[in-house]
A and B are shown apart, each in its own frame.
Chain A
Amino acid sequence: MDDPFVIDGQALSSRLILGTGGAPSLDVLDAALVASGADMCTVAMRRLEPTTRGSVLDVLDRRGVRVLPNTAGCHTAREAVLTAQLAREALETSWVKLEVIADDDTLLPDGTELVEAALTLVADGFTVLPYTNDDPVLARRLQQAGCAAVMPLGSPIGTGLGIRNPHNIEMIVSEASVPVILDAGIGTASDAALAMELGCDGVLLASAVTRSRDPALMAEAMAAAVSAGRAARRAGRIPQRWHARASSPVDGMIDT
Chain B
Amino acid sequence: MELTVNGEIRQLQDDATVADLVVAAGAPERGSAVAVGGIVVPRSRWHERRLEPGEQVELVHAVQGG
Contacts and interface: CB of A to CB of B under 8 A. Distances in A.
B6 A82 contact: no
A148 B65 CA distance: 21
Interface in A238-254: none
B49 to A, nearest CB: 13
Given A55-B28, A90-B31, A23 B60 contact: no
Interface string A19-61: 1111100000100000000000011111110101001110001
B40 A85 contact: yes
Contacts of B43: 89
A133 interface: no
Given A82-B38, A82-B40, A91-B31, A46 B66 contact: no
Contacts of A158: 66
A171 B66 CA distance: 25
B7 A57 contact: no
Interface residues of B, number: 25
Interface string B21-55: 00001111011111100101011000000000000
A210 to B, nearest CB: 8
A206 interface: yes
A70 B38 CA distance: 18
Given A50-B25, A89-B43, A44 B35 contact: no
A22 B66 CA distance: 8
A56 B31 CA distance: 10
B19 interface: no
A89 to B, nearest CB: 4
A47 B25 contact: no
A87 B28 CA distance: 14
A19 B32 CA distance: 19
B62 A67 contact: yes
A46 B63 contact: yes
B13 interface: no
B31 A55 contact: yes
Nearest to A56: B64
A45 B64 contact: no
A43 B62 contact: yes
A228 interface: no
Contacts of B62: 43-45, 55-57, 67, 69, 87, 90-91
B31 to A, nearest CB: 5
B58 interface: yes
A22 B30 CA distance: 22
5 contacts: A19-B66, A20-B64, A42-B65, A48-B26, A90-B61
Interface of B: 6-7, 25-28, 30-35, 38, 40, 42-43, 58-66
Given A48-B27, A70-B66, 16 more contacts: A20-B64, A20-B66, A43-B62, A44-B62, A44-B66, A47-B59, A48-B60, A57-B31, A67-B62, A70-B65, A82-B40, A89-B33, A89-B43, A90-B61, A90-B62, A157-B66
